[in-house]
């Protein structure tokens, strides 16, 4: 769908956006840096509904026996927060016409009625996800009404994370199961034309796979959940402005994210 020239432009755009943000926009973002001290105050940073697209990250509790904490002692659900969404929202703003809220993002639990104002949700580290009955019911209603869930940073090498996610999704959407996503699915072509296998996991070769949950288990129908298995695209988003990862790889991660957002707005 897009040529080489466009790809180069996009790469430059991504890099420029990141540098630009670092140079001039750092202080404007109102999403506070995460620290263990102010975990309880996250929801206070949520911006009210204003008709724009808000990045909505799902907050949850982890299961018994699973710490869910690692690096900087952040909770599992907050992995890559807030740098990932902050960078990603700027990219969305720069590359697409999605009218997005770049002043902040929203963190909500699935039992919060506010989630229904933000039809695209993002959840990470679902290997340790342990939703309550209320949260499961909330997620089920959210997806059936038309919500779209992006699932990231989950891999089996840390335990049977796939099974944990699949189990809880069965609770939320009984009868609907995770189905391997064909590489020519519309979600890979909604804005950028993406070859999924080029979205290489940041942890090195890990056999990245894509799963989806479809309405009525029918792959021709609406994709309700997209699951980046053995991958972590937000990892790229988080560090795209710091040079940890090659630009090409970060580009692919951004492109996939942009596609998800455009797909979630139109399908």
Partner 1 sequence: MERIFEFLFKYPPLFFEQGDFTFGAPMSVRLWLIIAGLLGAATVASYTIARGKSTVTDRGVMAGLRVLLLAVIIVCLLQPSLILSTVVPQQNFVGILIDDSQSMLLADENGELRNSFINEEFASGESELLQQLSDRFALRFFRFSDVAGRVDNPSELAYEGTHTNLSRALDVAREELSGVPLSGLVMITDGADNDNQPLAESLVPLQAAGIPVFTVGLGEESITPDIELGRIEMPRAVLEGSSLTVDVVITQTGFEGGTVPLIVEDELQIIAEETVELGPDGEPVVARIYFELEGVGPRRVSFRIPPQPEERVNRNNARSVQVEVRGEREKVLYFEGEPRFEVKFMRRAVEEDENIQLVVLQRTAESKFLRLDVDDGSELEFGFPTSREEMYRYRALILGSVEASFFTHDQLQMIADFVSERGGGLLLLGGHGAFAEGGWQGTPVEEVMPVVLSSPADDPQGFFAEVEVIPTPAGLTHPAVLLGVEQDQVRERWDSLPSVTTVNPISQVRPGATALLSGSGEQLALEQIVLAFQRYGRGKSIALTIQDSWLWQMHADVPLEDQSHETFWKQMIRWLVDGVPEAVEAVTDREQVEPGENVQLVTNVGDSSYIEVNNATVTARITSPTGTVEELPVSWTVQRDGEYSVEFRPLEQGEYEVEVTAERNGETLGSDKTYLYTAPSDDEYFSASRRTQTLRRIADETGGQFYTPEDVSSLPEDIRVTGAGVTLIEELDLWDMPFLFFLLLMLMGAEWGFRRIRGLI
Which residues of this protein are in contact with partner 1, per CB under 8 A?
49-51, 53, 95-99, 113-117, 119, 141, 144-147, 190-191, 222, 261-262, 264-267
Neighbouring residues of 24: CB distance < 8 A, sequence distance ≥ 6: none
Nearer to partner 1, 171 or 267 (CB): 267
CB of 101 to partner 1, least distance (A): 12
> How many helices, marked H, and strands, marked E, lie in the chain?
6, 7
Nearer to partner 1, 162 or 214 (CB): 214
Dihedral angle of Cα 231, 134, 170, 175, to the nearest 10 degrees: -130
CB of 204 to partner 1, least distance (A): 32
CB of 139 to partner 1, least distance (A): 12
Question: Measured between alpha carbons, how far is 16 from 85 in angstroms, rounded to an integer?
Answer: 17
The answer for 175, left when phi > 0, alpha when psi is -120 to 50, beta otherwise, is: left
Nearer to partner 1, 96 or 170 (CB): 96
Nearer to partner 1, 53 or 237 (CB): 53
Nearest to 224 by CA among 119, 125, 131, 113: 119
Other Cβ atoms closer than 10 A to 94 = 15
Distance of CA 76 to the CA centre of its chain: 13
CB of 187 to partner 1, least distance (A): 12
Nearer to partner 1, 33 or 134 (CB): 134
CB of 21 to partner 1, least distance (A): 19
């Amino acid at each position: 769908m897009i040529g080489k020239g466009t790809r180069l432009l996009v790469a430059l755009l991504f890099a420029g956006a990141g540098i630009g943000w670092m140079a001039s926009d750092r202080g404007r973002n109102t999403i506070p840096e995460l620290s263990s001290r102010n975990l309880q105050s996250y929801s206070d940073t949520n911006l009210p509904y204003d008709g724009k697209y808000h990045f909505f990250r799902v907050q949850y509790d982890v299961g018994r026996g699973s710490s869910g904490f690692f690096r900087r002692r952040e909770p599992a659900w907050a992995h890559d927060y807030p740098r990932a969404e902050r960078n990603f929202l700027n990219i969305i703003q720069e590359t697409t016409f999605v009218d997005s809220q770049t002043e902040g993002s929203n963190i909500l639990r699935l039992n919060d009625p506010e989630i229904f104002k933000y039809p695209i949700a993002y959840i990470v580290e679902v290997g340790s996800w342990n939703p309550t009955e209320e949260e499961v019911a909330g997620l089920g209603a959210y997806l059936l009404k038309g919500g779209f869930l992006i699932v990231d940073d989950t891999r089996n090498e840390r335990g049977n994370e796939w099974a944990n996610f699949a189990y809880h999704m069965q609770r939320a959407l009984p009868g609907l199961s995770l189905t391997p996503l064909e590489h020519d699915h519309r979600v890979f072509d909604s804005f950028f034309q993406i070859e999924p296998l080029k979205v290489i996991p940041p942890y090195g070769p890990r056999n990245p796979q894509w799963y989806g949950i479809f309405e009525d288990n029918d792959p021709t129908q609406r994709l309700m959940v997209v699951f980046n298995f053995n991958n972590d695209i937000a990892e790229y988003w988080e560090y795209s402005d710091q040079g940890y990862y090659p630009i090409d790889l970060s580009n692919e991660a951004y492109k996939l994210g942009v596609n998800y957002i455009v797909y979630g707005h139109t399908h």
